[in-house]
Structure 1
Amino acid sequence: MTQKPLILAVETSGRIGSVAIAFGGQLLAEATFTGPMRHSAEIFPAVCGLLDRFSRKSEEIGHIYISVGPGSFTGLRIAVTLAKTMHLANAAKIVAVDTLDIIAANAVNLTTQNHEPQTTSHEKIATILDAKRGQFFIAVYQRNTSHRVWQKVLPDSLMTASDFLEQFAAADQPIWLLGEGLVYYKDKFKADGIFFLDEKYWRPRAEKVHLLGWQMALEGRFADALTLQPTYLRQPV
């Protein structure tokens, strides 16, 4: 990568959307939508507001990083459509970032304060999103202590809360949960060995889309604009 691009990061997979702009690896600003499921109404004003704030134009955007799912069907389509449009207009390169990974990134720098995960090779977290019909989108991660990152040990899966607890709940192997799937269904996941991170860590954010997207871009992991589709895990009906 010969020069640092102007980057737009988009998170519309969850209840509260957000966008961010960055210059290379440096985040410039993030804008959060004013309420739940305001993606269609607020995404373009939010993007324009950030660009105006830094005297930039949409034509200057060289990369767009999107939260590609799993998550809200409508929200995911909004992000994918925007990414494809910017690719056609600007030849902007696209990075598609897994939504459950984005949520997990909220826990990367947590300390032992307030009973949060310790930095040991045994600690695990699980990201939880509501998939409706009594099911959840879930991924599980274990700490890589040498790099202070979460390594995925259970890929994005569609399962019930009871299936998850049967597989992962153990009093001697604690696992910490986060994600918007807990907003209404936290009680379903209560069991020995199960702990919950503070609700402030549950929401996917454009800031983390940029963080992970920039790492992927440095590795050349760009999406094909022609074949790009949201990650649904279960097809919309």
Structure 2
Amino acid sequence: MTDLLPNSLPNQPRIVAIETSGRIGSVAVGLGPQFLAERQFTAGMNHAIELMPTLRDLTVAQGWQPRQIQHVYLSIGPGSFTGLRIAVMVARSLAQAIGCLVVAVPTLDVLTQNAPAEARHLAVILDAKRGHVYAARYCRGASAAAGAGGWHCTAGPILTSPEEFVRQSPKPLYVLGEGVDYHRPALRAGVDDDADLIELGRESWVARAAAVHELGWAMAGRGIFADVGSLVPLYIRLPEAQELWNRRHASPGSSA
């Protein structure tokens, strides 16, 4: 766990940031723009067990009472269906119980924060099964719309063919995300020169709550808060189990 001195910006909102979109979850706390601490979960896909104890431990370490939390930022997807639902449930419960504001941060934006400084064009790739990926394309520049790290999303997040997505992207293209392992041949098929596709290491595939805090704070500064009553994960496509249920229960003649 990484820590800074607590409460050095006492007039700023107390913030909890949650990342449960991937295999390894984490929670961070901050005061306004200042990152204070982050803790990763001890095991993969253990979000339901570790989220609340980790959140409690981090806030207690800062001397906060639950009612003092003013903002909750969460990684909203796409990603693990179960992990995203857990984070949304916690954020909604906190908002309803203590009145805190909620910011929903796109998960693929969170992953851009793992890219190296020399990258100009970036694709974030997650596996969507059945030969498809969830993907978003980013350009680093001085655009007024650019977020932390200077990244501006130019396409996505979408459900797409990995080969076509790479083929339509500017080069050289840096790529990161858990989908790289599943779709490497298709991604490589999207370039004529292997040097035009630069794969980033596995350490860059893990979204971090510290980045959720950084991006969430920027969104809060622009007044981009979620409507808690309608807050749902960003799935892009229904969970596979739901799609199967829909097909089995579709009425005759339905296109479902």
State if a TM-score over 0.5 links the two structures.
Answer: yes
Q: TM-score, normalised by structure 1?
A: 0.88
Offset at residue 143 of structure 1 (A): 1.1
Offset at residue 56 of structure 1 (A): 1.5
Partner of 1:137: 134
AA of the residue aligned to 2:172 = P
Correspondence for 2:121 among 113, 119, 124: 124
Question: What are the Cα deviations for residues 91-126 of structure 1, in whole angstroms up to 9, with x where unaligned?
Answer: 01000000000001222xx334xxxx2xxxxx3100
Which whole-Å CA distance do the structure 2 matches of 1:222 and 1:66 have between them?
11
Higher mean Cα deviation, 158-167 or 30-39? 158-167
Unaligned runs of 5+ in 2: 1-10, 243-256
Partner of 1:233: 236
Partner of 1:92: 100
**Equivalent residue runs for 1:147-162 within 5 Å:** 149-162=150-163
**Equivalent residue runs for 1:217-232 within 5 Å:** 217-232=220-235
Partner of 1:165: 166
Greater Cα radius of gyration, structure 1 or 2:
2
Structure with higher strand content: 1
Q: TM-score, normalised by structure 2?
A: 0.82
Which whole-Å CA distance do the structure 2 matches of 1:111 and 1:230 have between them?
30
Which whole-Å CA distance do the structure 1 matches of 2:54 and 2:185 have between them?
35
Unaligned runs of 5+ in 1: 118-122
Partner of 2:6: none
**Equivalent residue runs for 1:12-161 within 5 Å:** 12-107=20-115, 110-112=116-118, 117=119, 123-145=120-142, 149-161=150-162
Which whole-Å CA distance do the structure 2 matches of 1:216 and 1:140 have between them?
19
Offset at residue 58 of structure 1 (A): 1.5
Q: SS state of the match for residue 69, structure 1?
A: coil
Which whole-Å CA distance do the structure 1 matches of 2:128 and 2:233 have between them?
14
Higher mean Cα deviation, 153-162 or 179-188? 179-188
Offset at residue 180 of structure 1 (A): 1.7
Q: SS state of the match for residue 232, structure 1?
A: coil
Which whole-Å CA distance do the structure 2 matches of 1:229 and 1:184 have between them?
27
AA of the residue aligned to 1:188 = A
Correspondence for 2:205 among 202, 205, 209: 202
Task: Count the aligned residue pairs.
Answer: 222
| Identity fraction in percent | 43
Offset at residue 23 of structure 1 (A): 0.8
Partner of 1:179: 177
Which whole-Å CA distance do the structure 1 matches of 2:174 and 2:105 have between them?
22
